Structure 1
Amino acid sequence: MTPPDATPTPPARAVRRVDPRHRYEILVDGKAAGFTAYRDRDHQRVFFHTEIDDAFAGQGLASILVREALTDVRASGLRIVPICPYVAKFLQKHREFDDITDPVTAEIQTWLDAALAR
């Protein structure tokens, strides 16, 4: 039991890339809390969906997840294509990724649809 004047320990958060599932996942205390999904196209990582479980909403996890994912993309020498609305919104506020961000084009969208067999 935590004494009333003690500061509670914040939950442990970790982001990991899961290549076989084409996504980055965020874990909170070892439990999957959300993911951002991608497909790779040549030298581009195309992000198309981000989701945080309702049980973890309101904790800023999507922002942590996307920042870590985009930082990994930079370290991997790839470029970002933000089809996912959340990733696109994040990039508008975080200009430090401008140098590795490519625009969404009809060609990329058509490629993604085919890659996902939509």
Structure 2
Amino acid sequence: MTQAADPIVRNVDARHRYEILVEEVSAGFTAYRDRDGQRVFFHTEVDDAFAGRGLASVLVEQALSHVRSTGKRIVPVCPYVAKFLKKHEEFADITDPVTPEILQWLETALAR
């Protein structure tokens, strides 16, 4: 019996998202838009075919680690990212609150 390959997370900047691949198949993504020095995460999803494997957690943890390495800050508009951050305080130092101003900006950015 062969062991499944570890999932791979990659930033696809042109599509404003991090994707998680399982054996070279896209299993999910977390989407963002950049605002000044912030990366605003607004949606995360994992395909039903890959549910129950903890892939969303792997995806978000690696995405947030990448954000840290770039010097940006995190704004968790996405409910999953916000929930993840409550359990992972190691990212608290780079997390900014979701404000009405950010929500308005995001709405405008996504409408383009």
TM-score, normalized by length of structure 2?
A: 0.97
2:51 aligned residue (49, 54, 57): 57
**Counterpart position of 1:99:** 93
Q: Summarize deviations over 1:29-54 as a string: whole Å, max 9, x none.
A: 00000000000000000000000000
**Counterpart position of 2:82:** 88
Partners of 1:10 and 1:93 lie apart in 2 by 27
Confirm whether residue 33 of structure 1 aligns to residue 38 of structure 2: no
* Stretches of 4+ aligned residues off by more than 2 angstroms: none
Give the C-alpha shift of residue 25 in structure 1. 0.1
Q: Which structure 2 segments of 5+ residues have no match?
A: none
Question: RMSD value over aligned CA atoms?
Answer: 1.0
Q: State the aligned residue count.
A: 112
Q: Does the aligned pair in 1 maintain the 2:19–2:30 contact within 8 Å?
A: yes
Q: Which has the larger radius of gyration?
A: 1
Partners of 1:56 and 1:17 lie apart in 2 by 19
Instruction: Tell me which amino acid in the other structure corresponds to 2:39.
Output: R
Give the C-alpha shift of residue 12 in structure 1. 2.9
Partners of 1:12 and 1:58 lie apart in 2 by 15
SS of structure 2 residue aligned to 1:116:
helix
Q: Which structure 1 segments of 5+ residues have no match?
A: 3-7
Instruction: Tell me which amino acid in the other structure corresponds to 1:35.
Output: F
Which residues in structure 2 correspond to 1:63-82 (within 5 Å)? 63-82=57-76
